Structure 1
Amino acid sequence: MNFVYLRLEILRIVRSPQFALFTIAVPLGMFLLFGGLFGDLAGPDGIKASVTTMINMGAYGAMGGALFTGTRVATERTDGWQRQLRLTPMRGPGYLFVKIASAMAMALPVLLVIFVAGALRGVDLTAAQWVLSGLGLWLGALPFAVLGLLLGLFGKGDTVGAMTGALMLPLGVFGGLWMPLSIMPEWMSTVAHFFPTFWLGRVGTVAVTHETGLGLAAAVLAAWLVVPALVVVRRFRLDTAKVG
């Protein structure tokens, strides 16, 4: 992996105002809003809604940070950057790994901001719960990094941002991240199981609730990782073949 290119990629994303607004400010604002509305309620597992809301908004923010990489990829495709890369020692796998690594790097600060806000709002977890929940959410964001890369390889520079936003809405709502599923209609709980965001939230809550099901959640997210990754590799090969 080209670490110089990775550093430049991260700096470019951090300096983007869209990153600060949509991937940090929005989930933070939603946590403060929903945490205030439902914070004293307890779900069927006995965990306060303030805890699950923090975890869910952390998952939503990490997902957004990971998906954001698609906008850069689409812009580079539109500007002919992939053609320029063929003149450098960097090869296709290195380019893809840098994009995924930068997406994961962007997911981390979003999680930290949400968790710090949760601690300041009175969320009380043990040190192990904080670490395991945060680490689980961060690693669980990997399929969304690949999904963002997929959007960037199929979309165009002026449309992929709208595509990403349009995707995040149903992923957040129907995946059960925006509001606790315990207060939603029963059909919402059924539908949520078909969305990867539901399982991302499950990874984060298992560390707190001590319930079983971590293996199932990890397996579902792994499936959501492998399938888009295969499409990404094929699409990138077709793109590079065209510019060759």
Structure 2
Amino acid sequence: MNATLTWQQKMHIYTLEAKTEFLKVFRMPAFAIPSLIFPMMFYIFFALVFNRGGMNGQVPMYMLATYGVFGIIGPAIFAFGVGVAIEKDQGWLALKQCSPMPISAYFFARIVTAMLFALIIVISLFTIGALFGNVRMTSSQWLFTLILLILGCLPFCAIGLWLGLALKGQTAPAVVNLIYLPMAFLSGLWIPIQMFPAALQNAAWALPPFHLAQLVLKIQDNDLGYPWWVHTGILLVMTLIFLFLAMRAFKKISESK
């Protein structure tokens, strides 16, 4: 039946699915409130309140990049890692597969939702940093930071999708939290990576948030100095690996029905 749909009809389906998914998630306080409030709260505490002695804009600007990365990871990895796992166990994923709607619209809607949440978070951090943290950047720096953080959702959507398809709904929240928080800390999102022991600095190269943070910091000239294409290439490879794992998990689920 999907083959009979016109391009306009498919776009309409994708748009409606994305709209309803965003509204559904936005109306879930257990997801929406922590996703939107925690990054701003941490940024205010660590970049502004605890840094009153150095409010020249440098530390708030640096942490704007790292907490921006921290902020966009949450909606991406939880929307897929927890949301897909729960809906899979409840039978919603199977229902979507049986419906005339292309199953890709289901995953597209979750990506759009993660990006919209990321947009709200990043704009909020921008506003706080500019008004209260004395953050000053050029127009191109603000724009490139925004675009990079929004696109930076994609690797974590891939990670979350694999987790959501591989985990049970009951265990997914705990497992995702066990991955999300240590991964963020060890990537230097809360404390500058330069303050870590050499062994932990080397280990951070295996973590996607580290590479995204370095790309965002490069816009400010506050990164470690490695070429942008190194971090971009590693992120791309990691994204493809997790997409491959997610496809295998999805195929296994489909074959078991």
Common fold by TM > 0.5: yes
CA-to-aligned-CA distance 1:15-38 (integer Å, 9 cap, x gap): 111223322221111111110334
Which structure 2 residues correspond to residues 51-130 of structure 1 after superposition, within 5 A? 51-70=61-80, 71-121=82-132, 122-130=134-142
Structure 2 residue 229 is the aligned partner of structure 1 residue 219: no
Counterpart secondary structure, 2:108: helix
Change in CA separation of 1:85 and 1:27 when aligned onto 2, cut-off 3 Å = same
Counterpart secondary structure, 2:99: coil
On the 8 A contact 1:67/1:147 being kept in 2, the answer is: yes
Stretches of structure 1 lacking an aligned partner (at least 5 in a row)? none
Change in CA separation of 1:99 and 1:242 when aligned onto 2, cut-off 3 Å = farther
Larger radius of gyration: 2
Deviates more, 1:133-142 or 1:47-56: 47-56
Deviation (angstroms), 1:223: 1.1
How many residues are paired up? Answer: 240
On the 8 A contact 2:187/2:193 being kept in 1, the answer is: no
On the 8 A contact 1:141/1:200 being kept in 2, the answer is: no
Deviation (angstroms), 1:40: 5.7
RMSD: 2.2
On the 8 A contact 2:155/2:239 being kept in 1, the answer is: yes
CA-to-aligned-CA distance 1:195-230 (integer Å, 9 cap, x gap): 111111011111111866221111111111100001
Deviation (angstroms), 1:41: 5.5
Deviation (angstroms), 1:147: 0.9
Deviation (angstroms), 1:95: 2.8
Which of 4, 7, 25 matches 2:37? 25
TM-score for both structures, normalised by structure 1: 0.89
Which of 193, 200, 208 matches 1:196? 208
Distance 2:58 2:239 in 1: 31
Change in CA separation of 1:216 and 1:171 when aligned onto 2, cut-off 3 Å = same
Distance 1:98 1:49 in 2: 36
Stretches of structure 2 lacking an aligned partner (at least 5 in a row)? 1-10
CA-to-aligned-CA distance 1:118-162 (integer Å, 9 cap, x gap): 112211111111111121122122100111111111122222122
Distance 2:107 2:210 in 1: 26
On the 8 A contact 1:104/1:145 being kept in 2, the answer is: no
Deviates more, 1:175-184 or 1:210-219: 210-219
Deviates more, 1:59-68 or 1:82-91: 82-91
Deviation (angstroms), 1:66: 0.9
TM-score for both structures, normalised by structure 2: 0.85
Match of 1:10 in 2: 22
Distance 1:166 1:92 in 2: 29
Distance 1:139 1:223 in 2: 15
Which of 136, 142, 147 matches 2:154? 142
Counterpart secondary structure, 1:68: helix
Distance 2:237 2:62 in 1: 24
Deviation (angstroms), 1:173: 0.8
